[in-house]
Amino acid sequence: AVKKRVFSGIQPTGNIHLGNYLGALRNWVNAQAEYDNIFCIVDLHAITLPIDPVELHTNTRKLAALYIACGLDTRYCKLFIQSHVREHAEMSWIMSCFTPMGWLNRMTQFKSKAAGNLDSVDTGLYCYPVLMACDVLLYQTHYVPVGDDQRQHMELTRDLAQRFNAIYKRPVFTVPEAQIREEGARIMSLTEPTKKMSKSDTDLNSRINLLDDPKTIKKKINRATTDSLRLVTFDPERPGITNLLTIYQVLTGESQQEIEAAFAGKGYGEFKAALIDRLVTTLEPIQKRYYELMNDLPTLEGILKQGADEVRPLAATTLNQVKEVVGL
Ligand code: ADP
Ligand code: NA
């Protein structure tokens, strides 16, 4: 049988963190053999907010190395840098002409990132969801594995595909589905567990980065906010401990009941020590592989060039169809 197409991406805007790993990357790796995968480093999305050029270039390579270090395998996946395939930008202009402003006005991520400062944010940030839709639609994608924060952008992607197909009465686009796992889809900040863990949080203790060393992991987990009840149980009323337990649950694959039973009568200190242990043993091999890859940048660049060369004809096929039906 022909494998279904999977597409997803991460912005090269900073160090990727445990939320990106558990909500996205880890799921890509675990399911890669079942699908025909395309994974992108979305550098065109990264310029929607101010970013230093050298940092952007470096972050892009670092993220590519992390993709591979986490286990993405070029036997199953095409890996590339978004800006290396011009079709994304070209399609984005065309599709912006099919996107009602009211739809973009409703995007909560824009509202929270712009925070009302419409004179200091650029239109790229506003049009971000259109570019994201194009990334997905260019490859006739069936499934888009993402974290919970991308739910609304994925709804817009589907609406846009359906609207375009309906206007031209032709199935130009496959209508994609978001793949949002139950566990790990929303990892929260370690210090303010009512907010999601995010690269843009100014509090550096709020997140574990995939490249954190054991000492840093230990420090951050030990400082992580809990509560005074001292019960190691999943409880939505106690988001701090529940978030740490969720991280532990995803890393170990154990059920909530098994975990609660294992820590019954034990304190937060004992649980945190077990979590630190898990995190260190999970991240150590990833980091080792990452540093090897970063020591051989020509090989990494070669993988990314090959990925772009492989996906470009797929993107061009869809873009050419779009241009034809539109009359361009
Ligand atoms: P960030 O939101 O940290 O800037 P991106 O926007 O590049 O990261 O998102 C990359 C992927 O990581 C997306 O699939 C997104 O849904 C997922 N993701 C981001 N933050 C979290 C989180 N706190 N928990 C789970 N998944 C997340
Ligand atoms: Na995000």
Are 245 and 317 members of one domain?
Answer: no
Count of structural domains within the chain:
2
CB 41, CB 64: distance < 8 Å: yes
Q: Which atom of ligand 1 is nearest to the CA of 10?
A: 7
To the question of whether residue 149 is assigned a binding role by annotation, the answer is: yes
How far, in Å, from the CA of 121 to the mean position of ligand 1?
21
8-to-41, 105, 144, 218, 275 alpha-carbon distances in Å: 9, 24, 6, 31, 28
Are 144 and 29 members of one domain?
Answer: yes
Report if residue 186 sits inside a domain: no
To the question of whether residue 81 is assigned a binding role by annotation, the answer is: no
Report if residue 188 sits inside a domain: no
Are 29 and 161 members of one domain?
Answer: yes
How far, in Å, from the CA of 10 to the mean position of ligand 1?
7
CB 122, CB 94: distance < 8 Å: no
Are 119 and 234 members of one domain?
Answer: no
Cβ of 199 closer than 6 Å to ligand 1, yes or no, is yes
User: What is the span of the domain harbouring residue 214?
Assistant: 204-291
| Cα angle 46, 52, 53; round to 5 | 80
Report if residue 80 sits inside a domain: yes
Report pLDDT for 28.
Answer: 98
Are 220 and 124 members of one domain?
Answer: no
Are 14 and 157 members of one domain?
Answer: yes
Q: Which atom of ligand 1 is nearest to the CA of 42?
A: 7
How far, in Å, from the CA of 150 to the mean position of ligand 2?
7
What is the Cα–Cα distance from 9 to 80, expressed in whole angstroms? 10
- CA of 17, nearest ligand number: 1
CB 12, CB 45: distance < 8 Å: no
Report if residue 197 sits inside a domain: no
Report if residue 187 sits inside a domain: no
Report if residue 196 sits inside a domain: no
Cβ of 19 closer than 6 Å to ligand 1, yes or no, is yes
Q: Which atom of ligand 1 is nearest to the CA of 145?
A: 14
Are 248 and 319 members of one domain?
Answer: no
Are 175 and 257 members of one domain?
Answer: no
SS3 177: strand
Report pLDDT for 1.
Answer: 79
Report pLDDT for 14.
Answer: 85
Cβ neighbors of 3 (< 8 A, separation 6 or more) are 34, 35, 36
Residue-level pLDDT, tens digit, the chain, 328 residues: 799 999 999 999 988 999 999 999 999 999 999 999 999 999 999 999 999 999 999 999 999 999 999 999 999 999 999 999 999 999 999 999 999 999 999 999 999 999 999 999 999 999 999 999 999 999 999 999 999 999 999 999 999 999 999 999 999 999 999 999 988 999 999 999 999 999 989 999 999 999 999 999 999 999 999 999 989 999 999 999 999 999 999 999 999 999 999 999 999 999 999 999 999 999 999 999 999 999 999 999 999 999 999 999 999 999 999 999 999 9
How far, in Å, from the CA of 204 to the mean position of ligand 2?
17
Whichever domain contains 87, its CATH number is 3.40.50.620
Report pLDDT for 206.
Answer: 98
To the question of whether residue 148 is assigned a binding role by annotation, the answer is: yes
Cβ of 20 closer than 6 Å to ligand 1, yes or no, is yes
Residue whose token pair is 């206007």: 167
ipTM above 0.90, yes or no: yes
Are 246 and 271 members of one domain?
Answer: yes
To the question of whether residue 213 is assigned a binding role by annotation, the answer is: no
Tell me the catalytic residues: 113, 196, 199
Are 138 and 170 members of one domain?
Answer: yes
Whichever domain contains 226, its CATH number is 1.10.240.10
Are 253 and 300 members of one domain?
Answer: no
Are 225 and 309 members of one domain?
Answer: no
Report if residue 38 sits inside a domain: yes
Report pLDDT for 193.
Answer: 97
